[in-house]
A and B are shown apart, each in its own frame.
Chain A
């Protein structure tokens, strides 16, 4: 009887800790709402402009973080996404610019395709380094981070590649039913990634790979092929981030993804992933990205020096890890 009660208590704490990122998101939204009410007498949450700004910022983080979540669940990491994204951004802008100011929708789509192909090459190389040459993913993708960065800067001649194209501009800045298009794209990709990770055999193998690679190998799964696909997915979602950057600002920039890289990594870990692999969800990463975006925008909105966002996001990462560890202590291990 007693142990049943104990189990109930532990499972309540467990579900609370599992939901902590939701609670935290609500908490900081509440904090900024109260701050806004007191300071300015205005609302923070219920203003469309604020919500749109937050969701666009979250989308940018999310697009780098979605594929990365799969890679981290498998027990690896992908640092090169910063410049898979930047490379795609530059390639897309160059193709559109080469086609001239009257380029139609078809050219824009061809440009997007070229951007994705360029990023996919980076992904294949990452997977090949990790799967076939046994290079640790952190080192290997740091290598391709440098190569992709250089390639993008060389192609762009060291500058941003500005474009004038109404289709691109409308796609990057438009709304669907009031929802910014970047948000809609990020959410659709999040849904697809969630399906892949949670509901497919590929996803199950990804989790197993993070816990015990030998288990997957002995089960007859082609682990090398699996790793290459993972890194290609990671590069492609990052490339979507580059595409949206190019369309929103009508410019291709090699460095467009670089300031977001660490936020993307942070979003995955805030969302409950573990550096050792085998844990993490897309849902968690989505919340992680929104937590960071709310902090970023909220601090600017509050008139605090923007540098405080680095302090705040840093603290949230540490809290996320502590929560994760206490979860293990409470419910994990041998009883």
Chain B
């Protein structure tokens, strides 16, 4: 079985500094791989090379066998990799529908002029959110009136709606309260059930163990080790993060 995402020997040098050295791993369909590591371990650099924001100094990235290295961030998105940033990149003053379609809004012609098709976009947003198990209280209300978990769901809904095959989530629970963190964990499980691959960046141990099928620990730019949650424990992961053992 070929992996959904194949990351092969990624290196990134910034001037004389080697931020990432020979990072290799893959992600299967419906699998959640957690990239764990301390600040500065190279997690962000790795995902930026996958999403096309950085070009690797060496190494390659494949999605279902298709080489992504060298493509622009837009081309990588079109190929099916969506990145959900910590700040979610939502426009708080717009409704869920417009956020779902931001940059690709639907229009209808009236009297020969294009008008935003708010109704269809709202209906679609409600539909996708429903498939994630979230009821939108008021589809016409701006998303700033929604909870942190619901807002996260909109960002995830955007990925699903545009047929992402792999979703990269950067510290999705960092700014949330406990109940909302649970909501996000539930969302991750629903995404997996849809066959979407997930790379989750986190240094929150409970999150890591709740979500991961595999944990890949980065320390000082190299893969310090790979574990399944059932085969390991908090202590070992922390030790690996500190770069103590393999």
A residues near B, CB below 8 A?
A: 195, 199-201, 203-205, 207-208, 210-212, 214-216, 218-221, 278-279, 332, 334
Main DSSP-derived SS at the B contact region: loop
A195, A199, A220, A279: the one within 8 Å of B93 (CB) = A279
What residue of chain B has the Cβ atom nearest to residue A199's Cβ? B115
Bound together, the chains give a CA A219 to CA B155 distance in angstroms of: 12
Contacts known (A195-B113, A216-B102); A207 close to B91, Cβ less than 8 A: yes
- What is the bound-complex CA distance between A219 and B77, given in angstroms? 10
| Shortest distance between the CB of B228 and any CB in chain A (Å) | 33
In the complex, the answer to whether A216 meets B74 with C-beta atoms within 8 Å is no
CB distance from B153 to the nearest CB of A (A): 16
Contact B93 A210 (CB under 8 A): yes
Count of interface residues, chain B, beta-carbon cutoff 8 Å: 24
B116 proximal to A (CB < 8 A) = yes
Minimum Cβ distance to chain B for residue A183 (Å) = 24
Task: Find chain B residues with CB under 8 A from A207 CB.
Answer: 91, 93-94
> With contacts A204-B98, A208-B91, A210-B93 known, is A221 near B103, CB below 8 A?
yes
Q: Are A215 and B93 in contact (CB under 8 A)?
A: no
Given contacts A204-B105, A219-B104, contact A212 B91 (CB under 8 A): yes
> How near does chain A come to B227, taking the closest CB pair, in angstroms?
33
Q: Whole-angstrom distance from the CB of A172 to the nearest CB of chain B?
A: 30
Distance A279 CA – B113 CA, assembled complex (angstroms) = 24
Task: Report chain B residues within 8 Å CB of A203.
Answer: 116
Residues in B103-125 with C-beta less than 8 Å from chain A: 103-105, 107, 113-116
Tell whether A201 pairs with B105 under 8 Å between CB atoms, given A211-B94, A215-B89: yes
At the interface, yes or no: B90 with Cβ under 8 Å from chain A?
yes
Of all chain A residues, the one with the shortest Cβ separation from B115 is: A199
Q: Which 9 A-B pairs have the closest CB atoms?
A: A219-B103, A208-B91, A219-B102, A278-B93, A211-B93, A215-B89, A199-B115, A201-B105, A211-B91
Write the chain B residue with the least CB distance to A279: B93
Provide the bound-state CA to CA distance between A201 and B98, in Å.
10
Q: How far is the CB of B139 from chain A (nearest CB, A)?
A: 16
Of A210, A215, A220, chain B has the most CB atoms within 10 Å of the CB of A215
Contacts of B115 in A (CB 8 A): 199-200
Contact between chains at A199 and B104 (CB < 8 Å): no
Assess the A211–B103 pair: CB atoms within 8 A: no
State whether B92 touches A201 (Cβ < 8 A): no
Q: Please name all residues of chain B whose beta carbon is closer than 8 Å to the beta carbon of A204 when the two chains form the complex.
A: 94, 98, 102, 105, 116
Chain B nearest CB from A78 CB (Å) reads 20
Contact B92 A212 (CB under 8 A): yes
Residues of chain A with a CB closer than 8 A to B93's CB: 207-208, 210-211, 278-279
Whether A278 and B92, one on each chain, are in contact in the complex, defined by CB atoms closer than 8 angstroms, is: yes
- Are B74 and A220 neighbours in the complex by a CB distance under 8 Å? yes
A332: contacting residue among B91, B98, B114, B144, CB under 8 A: B144
With both chains docked as a complex, state the minimum distance between the C-beta of A203 and any C-beta of chain B, in angstroms: 8
The closest CB in chain A to the CB of B90 belongs to A215
Nearest CB of chain B from residue A237's CB, rounded to whole Å: 19
- Residue in A closest to B77 when the chains form the complex, CB atoms: A220
Contact call B105/A208, Cβ cutoff below 8 A: no
Q: Using a CB-CB cutoff of 8 Å, which residues 54-106 of chain B contact chain A?
A: 74, 77, 85, 87, 89-94, 98-99, 102-105
Query: Do A332 and B145 have beta carbons less than 8 Å apart?
Result: yes
Closest to B143 in A: A211
Q: For the complex, give the distance between the alpha carbons of A303 and B70 in Å.
A: 73
Q: Is the CB of B102 within 8 A of A200?
A: no
**Shortest Cβ distance from B92 into A: residue:** A211
Bound Cα distance A334, B92 (Å): 13
Contact B94 A220 (CB under 8 A): no
CB closest residue in chain B, given A218: B89
Most buried by A among B93, B99, B104: B93
Using Cβ atoms and an 8 Å threshold, which residues of chain B touch A279? 93
- Nearest CB of B to A227, in Å: 16
Residues of A within 8 Å of B114, CB to CB, are: 199-201
Q: Which residues of A contact B98 (CB under 8 A)?
A: 204, 208
> Which chain B residue has the least Cβ–Cβ distance from A212?
B91
A219 to B74 alpha-carbon distance, docked (Å): 9
Residue of B nearest to A208 (CB): B91
Residues of A within 8 A of B113 (CB): 195, 199
The CA-CA distance from A208 to B115 in the complex, in Å, is 17
Q: Which residue of A lies closest to B158 (CB)?
A: A219
Q: List 8 contacting pairs A-B, 8 Å CB cutoff, sorted by A.
A: A200-B107, A204-B105, A204-B116, A205-B103, A208-B98, A215-B89, A215-B102, A332-B145
- With A204-B94, A207-B93, A208-B91 already in contact, the answer to whether A199 and B116 are too (CB < 8 A) is yes
